[in-house]
């Protein structure tokens, strides 16, 4: 089978599309024939050895995929061959086949778009876990989303609106803010041109925001924390800005606020039942049309490098998808 292989840590130029052996299914595992996989910022980190999980080389990158079950191992009862499903694999998705633990594979309805399914789990799963479980976001509260045009950012905007929050979108260009407007944001901050803290103060009448959703980190973290209202929650999603900020804990004390880590992948492993319930809720919203994943870029497997370049340049809007099999083009 064909797979994108990381044999040496580094940028996407170090990766290669190769023919490798089909993975073998063990007890409690599932083999998926991959139709589509989506890129996430963590993929740009893991190939450099900069992510929390550091697989030994060689390995196949790609955290999530959608396709059809090819084979199930001993003890697997919730899936059967031929069934459409998504895999939250962590690695292995950028290939024609992958094998992962059965608890990481969830069925999807027949006829569901493979591109949409592949774009759902990490972005929307992270955002739902962050807003519902970690922040306890309530209707009527104000949510500030940084990096609001990326995959997780747009998902947070959509979910925040769906949960009844007032959503302020912050991004680095007018084009990105337009995408956030389409997703449901009602106020906007271009932090490439405007002072984040001053604009939040202006928009909220000096009150501040109840929840900050921050997948960027870097120089935006401290002004975002300064923008919290009393009792606010600062969600640590990731560090797409390139550096991990040092947080002044006195600001949390003075605001009666909290900084909350959001490690969705670990939650999925530690609470598979909770993660499955979250996924079912997301699928319900998708089926009703209340969620609409924004897929702007699709590349065939042989053009995988373009997907990596789009993400690491921070120019991508919405989700970037790798099309592996013909059914995913529907």
Residue 28 lies in a domain: yes
Give the CA distances from residue 308 to residues 27, 62, 105, 244, 320, in Å, rounded to whole numbers and listed in that order. Answer: 33, 11, 24, 21, 9
Residue 330 confidence (pLDDT) above 70: no
The verdict on 44 and 141 lying in the same domain is no
Of 228, 248, 265, the residue at which a domain comes to its end is: 265
Of 250, 265, 280, the residue at which a domain comes to its end is: 265
Which residue's structure tokens are 């099999």?
A: 325
**Is the preceding omega at residue 58 within 30 degrees of 0, hence cis?**
yes
The verdict on 260 and 215 lying in the same domain is yes
Q: Tell me how far apart the alpha carbons of residues 231 and 228 are, in angstroms, rounded to a whole number.
A: 8
The verdict on 128 and 103 lying in the same domain is no
Domain range for 153: 123-265
How confident is the prediction for the chain on average, in pLDDT?
94
The verdict on 99 and 138 lying in the same domain is no
Check which CATH number belongs to the domain holding 313 and give it: 3.90.180.10
Residue 167 lies in a domain: yes
Residue 288: partners with Cβ closer than 8 Å, 6 or more residues away: none
Query: Buried b / exposed e across 75-97, counting CB within 10 Å, b at 16+?
Result: ebeebeeebbbbbbbbbbbbbbb
The total domain count for the chain is 2
Residue 221 lies in a domain: yes
Residue 328 confidence (pLDDT) above 60: no
The verdict on 32 and 10 lying in the same domain is yes
Alpha-helical runs (H) found in the chain:
41-46, 114-128, 151-162, 174-183, 196-204, 221-226, 249-255, 264-270, 272-287, 304-312
Is residue 243 very low, low, confident or very high in pLDDT (cuts 50, 70, 90)? confident
Residue 284 lies in a domain: no
% of the chain with per-residue pLDDT over 70:
98
């Amino acid at each position: 089978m064909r797979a994108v292989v990381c044999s040496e840590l580094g940028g996407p130029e170090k990766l290669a599309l190769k023919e490798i052996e089909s993975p073998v299914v063990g007890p409690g595992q599932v083999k998926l024939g991959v139709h589509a996989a989506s890129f996430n910022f963590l993929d740009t980190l893991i190939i450099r050895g900069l992510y929390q999980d550091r697989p030994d080389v060689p390995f196949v990158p790609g955290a999530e995929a959608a396709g059809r079950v090819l084979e199930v191992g001993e003890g697997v009862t919730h899936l059967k061959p031929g069934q459409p499903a998504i895999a939250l694999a962590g690695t292995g998705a950028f290939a024609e086949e992958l094998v992962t633990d059965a608890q990481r594979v969830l069925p999807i309805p027949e006829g569901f778009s493979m591109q949409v399914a592949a774009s759902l789990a990490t972005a929307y799963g992270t955002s739902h876990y962050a807003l519902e479980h970690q922040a306890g976001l309530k209707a009527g509260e104000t949510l500030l989303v940084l990096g609001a045009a990326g995959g997780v950012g747009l998902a947070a905007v959509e979910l925040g609106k769906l949960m009844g929050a007032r959503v302020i979108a912050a991004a680095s260009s007018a084009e990105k803010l337009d995408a956030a407007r389409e997703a449901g944001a009602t106020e906007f901050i271009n932090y490439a041109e405007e002072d984040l803290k001053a604009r939040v103060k202006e928009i909220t009448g000096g009150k501040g925001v109840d929840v900050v959703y921050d997948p960027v980190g870097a120089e935006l973290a401290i002004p975002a924390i300064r923008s919290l209202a009393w009792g606010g929650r600062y969600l640590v999603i990731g560090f797409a800005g390139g550096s991990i900020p040092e947080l002044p804990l006195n600001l949390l004390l003075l605001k009666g606020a909290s900084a909350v880590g959001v490690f969705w992948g670990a939650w999925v492993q530690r609470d598979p039942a909770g993660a499955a319930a979250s996924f079912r809720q997301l699928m319900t919203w998708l089926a009703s049309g209340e969620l609409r994943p924004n897929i702007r870029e699709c590349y065939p497997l042989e053009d995988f490098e373009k997907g990596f370049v789009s993400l690491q340049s921070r120019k991508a809007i919405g989700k970037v998808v790798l099309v592996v099999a013909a059914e995913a083009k529907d």
